[in-house]
C-alpha cells in the first residue's frame, strides 16, 4: 500500500474507539436540542434537517488529521451555531429570517446536499490519488541562510514606516478609536498601505526564524523568540484591532518549531491551542474598543457602544458573527432566489485579485465583493451603512456570483482544497514545509472569509513569508559533509 493511500485510509482503531469526551459532548448537544424542541424553541423540521446534516458530516471518511479537524469545524459551522442563533434569536446588524422561512430551510437543505457532494468528491479523489508521493524526510538540523536577516529587517522597516507615517503608537491607538466611533469602512488609517502592512505583519515570524533557525539558538533565545511574537504581533496587528495577526503568527511559529527545530508533544500542542483560543477571546474587548478597566461591565458597554442587545453579549458576537455565516447566507439565498436578481457571474473574484495590487500601480481597480453583498443587506442591515463589513464566506460569494449551482459547486472547491493540502503534506521536498503549514487553515477560512480577504491572506502569509522561507532553508553543515555555505 502506498504512502498516499495510507494517509487517506483511517486506522480502524481510531474509528472504533471514539474519545469519551466527544461522546459526552454529543450526548449533551442532543439532549439540549430535544429540550429546545420540547420547549418549542425550534421546529420539528429544523431538528430533522439538523440531524440529517450531522449524519452527513459523520459519514465523511475522515482519514487524515486535517479532515478530522474539518469535521469538528463543520459540526459547529453547519449545526451548532446556526441552531443556537435560531434559539436565542440574536440579530447582529442583520435581520434574522425565521426558521420557517423558505430561505432558512433551503440553507440547511443545500448544506446537506453540499456535504454529500464533498463526500463523493473525496471518494473520487482517493481512487485517483497518485502513489508516487513520499513522506518528506526532514533533516535533524535545519537552518536558514543569512538572507533571513534581510527579510527580517525589511519587515521591521515596513512596521517602522507605518508608525512614522501615522504619528506613533499613541496616535495609532487614537486613530483606531476614532474609526470605531465613526465608520470602519470609510475611515481607514491604513488605506493605501495594504502591501506595507502585510509585510509588517510578517515581521514577528521573520524575527522568530532568525532566532530559532540559526546556529546560535538556545533555550533562552527560543523563549525570547516566542515572547516577541506577542509583542511584535500586537504592534503590527493587535493595535489595529486585528486579532488574526497575533493568532496566526503564534500558530505558524509553533508549526515551524515543531517541524524544523524540535517536536512539540501532543499535550503541549493542546495547551498551546487552548492558550491561542483564550488569547483570541481575551482580545475581544479591543475589537469593540472597550478598555480592560471596564471589563466588569463589558456586556453593558458593548451593548451601549454597538447598539446590540445580545443574549450573551460579546460572546454572541464572537460565536454568531466571527465563527458563523448563517444569517448572511440565508439572506443571500433569499435575495438570489428572486427572479429579477442579477448574478455577478464571477465579477467579485476579479475584484479580489485586483485588491492585492497597490493603488499606486492600479488606481481604477474593480470593486471587491463588497459591492454585491452591500446591495443584498442594505435593506435589512440595522446600521444602514453604504458598504457592509459583513463576511459571507466563499460559499456565500459563489452563491451571489452563480446562484444555487454556485453554492453547491463551492463544496467541490472545498473538498479539492482539503485533498490538495493533504496531498502536499506528502510531498518529498521538505523545503516547502513552510508553505504547507500556512495553507492548513485555508479549508476553514474558505467558509468564513470572502475572496478578497483570502487573497490578502495568501499575499501576507504565503507570498511574503512561506515561499521566501522555503527558499532560505538549508541543512546545517557538519564535519562529515560538505554542505554549501549558509
pLDDT for 481: 47
**Is residue 436 a contact partner of residue 425, using CB atoms and an 8 Å limit?**
yes
Rounded average pLDDT over 268-296:
69
Q: What is the DSSP string of 75-106?
A: HIIIIIHHHHHHHHT--SSBPPPPTTSHHHHH
CA distance 223 to 211: 10
Query: Does residue 66 sit within a domain?
Result: yes
Between 426 and 307, residue with greater pLDDT: 307
Q: Tell me the residue range of the domain where 112 lies.
A: 3-127
Q: Above 50 in pLDDT, residue 271?
A: yes
Query: Does residue 398 sit within a domain?
Result: no
Q: Above 50 in pLDDT, residue 353?
A: yes
Rounded average pLDDT over 471-478:
76
Query: Does residue 369 sit within a domain?
Result: no
Rounded average pLDDT over 108-114:
96
**Is residue 199 a contact partner of residue 401, using CB atoms and an 8 Å limit?**
no
**Other Cβ atoms within 10 Å of 359 Cβ, number:** 13
Rounded average pLDDT over 346-361:
84
pLDDT for 378: 82
Rounded average pLDDT over 328-357:
89
Query: Does residue 82 sit within a domain?
Result: yes
In 3D, which of 212, 288, 285 has the Cα closest to residue 254?
Answer: 212
pLDDT for 391: 92
Query: Does residue 74 sit within a domain?
Result: yes
Rounded average pLDDT over 79-105:
90
Burial class (CB in 10 A: 0-12, 13-18, 19+), 158: buried
Q: Above 50 in pLDDT, residue 11?
A: no
User: For 182, which DSSP code?
Assistant: S
At 478, phi and psi to the nearest 5?
A: -135, -175
Ramachandran bin of 307, using left for φ above 0, alpha for ψ from -120 to 50, beta for the remaining angles: left
Rounded to a whole number of angstroms, the distance between the first and last alpha carbons of the chain is 38
Q: Above 80 in pLDDT, residue 190?
A: no
Q: Above 50 in pLDDT, residue 9?
A: no
Cell numbers found for residue 100: 420557517
Identify the three-state secondary structure at position 150: helix
Query: Does residue 105 sit within a domain?
Result: yes
Identify the three-state secondary structure at position 366: coil
In 3D, which of 406, 408, 399 has the Cα closest to residue 114?
Answer: 408
Query: Does residue 227 sit within a domain?
Result: no
Query: Does residue 164 sit within a domain?
Result: no
pLDDT for 73: 93
Burial class (CB in 10 A: 0-12, 13-18, 19+), 339: exposed
- Tell me the angle at which helices 194-201 and 147-166 cross, rounded to the nearest 10 degrees: 130
14 — pLDDT class (breaks 50, 70, 90): very low
239 — pLDDT class (breaks 50, 70, 90): confident
- Where is mean pLDDT largest: 35-44, 45-54, 165-174, 192-201? 45-54
**Helix locations, 167-265, DSSP H:** 169-181, 194-201, 203-212, 219-236, 244-256
CA distance 122 to 114: 12
In 3D, which of 121, 154, 107 has the Cα closest to residue 8?
Answer: 121
**Is residue 418 a contact partner of residue 66, using CB atoms and an 8 Å limit?**
yes
At 230, phi and psi to the nearest 5?
A: -70, -40
CA distance 121 to 454: 23
In the chain, what percentage of residues exceed pLDDT 90? 33
How many domains would you assign to the chain?
1
* Residues 82, 88, 93, 94, Cα dihedral to 10°: 60
Q: Above 80 in pLDDT, residue 316?
A: yes
Identify the three-state secondary structure at position 402: helix
Identify the three-state secondary structure at position 475: strand
**Is residue 400 a contact partner of residue 368, using CB atoms and an 8 Å limit?**
no
CA distance 220 to 207: 15
Chain-wide mean pLDDT for the chain?
81
Mean pLDDT lowest among 3-12, 49-58, 91-100, 246-255: 3-12
Between 272 and 52, residue with greater pLDDT: 52
CA distance 433 to 138: 9
In the chain, what percentage of residues exceed pLDDT 70? 79
Amino acid at each position: 500500500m502506498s504512502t498516499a493511500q495510507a494517509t487517506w485510509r483511517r486506522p480502524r482503531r481510531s474509528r472504533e474507539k471514539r474519545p469519551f469526551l466527544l461522546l459526552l459532548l454529543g450526548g449533551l448537544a442532543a439532549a439540549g436540542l430535544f429540550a429546545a424542541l420540547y420547549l418549542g424553541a425550534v421546529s420539528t423540521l429544523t431538528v430533522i434537517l439538523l440531524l440529517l446534516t450531522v449524519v452527513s458530516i459523520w459519514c465523511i471518511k475522515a482519514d487524515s488529521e486535517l479532515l478530522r479537524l474539518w469535521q469538528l469545524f463543520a459540526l459547529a459551522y453547519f449545526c451548532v451555531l446556526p441552531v443556537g442563533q435560531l434559539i436565542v434569536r440574536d440579530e447582529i446588524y442583520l435581520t434574522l429570517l425565521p426558521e420557517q422561512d423558505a430561505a432558512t430551510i433551503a440553507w440547511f437543505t443545500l448544506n446537506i446536499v453540499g456535504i454529500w457532494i464533498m463526500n463523493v468528491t473525496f471518494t473520487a479523489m482517493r481512487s485517483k490519488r497518485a502513489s508516487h508521493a513520499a513522506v518528506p524526510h526532514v533533516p535533524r538540523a535545519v537552518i536558514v541562510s543569512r538572507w533571513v536577516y534581510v527579510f527580517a529587517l525589511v519587515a521591521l522597516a515596513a512596521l517602522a514606516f507605518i508608525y512614522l507615517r501615522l504619528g506613533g503608537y499613541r496616535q495609532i491607538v487614537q486613530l483606531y478609536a476614532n474609526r470605531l466611533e465613526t465608520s470602519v469602512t470609510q475611515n481607514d488609517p491604513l488605506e493605501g498601505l495594504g502591501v506595507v502592512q502585510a509585510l509588517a505583519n510578517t515581521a514577528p515570524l521573520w524575527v522568530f526564524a532568525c532566532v530559532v533557525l540559526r546556529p546560535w539558538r538556545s533555550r533562552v533565545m527560543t523563549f525570547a523568540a516566542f515572547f516577541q511574537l506577542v509583542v511584535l504581533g500586537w504592534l503590527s496587528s493587535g493595535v489595529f484591532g486585528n486579532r488574526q495577526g497575533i493568532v496566526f503568527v503564534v500558530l505558524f511559529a509553533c508549526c515551524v518549531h515543531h517541524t524544523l527545530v524540535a517536536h512539540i508533544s501532543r499535550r503541549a500542542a493542546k495547551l498551546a491551542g487552548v492558550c491561542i483560543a483564550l488569547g483570541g477571546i481575551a482580545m475581544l474587548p479591543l475589537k469593540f474598543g472597550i478598555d480592560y478597566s471596564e471589563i466588569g461591565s463589558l456586556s453593558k458597554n458593548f451593548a451601549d457602544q454597538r447598539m446590540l442587545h445580545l443574549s450573551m453579549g460579546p460572546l454572541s458576537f464572537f460565536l454568531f458573527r466571527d465563527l458563523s455565516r448563517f444569517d448572511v447566507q440565508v439572506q443571500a439565498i433569499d435575495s438570489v432566489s428572486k427572479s429579477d436578481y442579477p448574478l455577478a457571474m464571477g465579477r467579485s473574484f476579479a475584484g479580489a485579485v485586483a485588491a492585492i495590487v497597490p493603488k499606486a500601480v492600479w488606481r481604477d481597480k474593480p470593486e471587491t465583493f463588497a459591492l454585491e453583498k452591500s446591495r443584498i443587506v442594505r435593506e435589512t442591515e440595522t446600521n444602514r451603512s453604504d458598504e457592509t463589513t459583513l463576511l459571507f464566506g466563499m460559499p456565500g460569494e459563489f452563491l451571489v456570483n452563480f446562484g444555487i449551482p454556485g453554492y453547491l459547486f463551492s463544496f467541490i472547491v472545498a473538498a479539492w482544497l482539503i485533498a490538495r493540502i493533504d496531498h502536499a503534506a506528502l510531498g518529498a521536498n521538505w523545503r516547502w514545509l513552510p508553505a504547507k503549514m500556512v495553507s492548513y487553515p485555508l479549508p476553514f477560512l474558505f467558509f468564513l472569509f470572502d475572496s478578497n480577504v483570502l487573497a490578502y491572506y495568501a499575499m501576507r502569509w504565503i507570498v511574503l513569508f512561506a515561499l521566501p522561507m522555503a527558499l532560505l532553508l538549508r541543512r546545517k553543515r557538519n564535519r562529515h559533509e560538505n554542505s554549501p555555505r549558509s
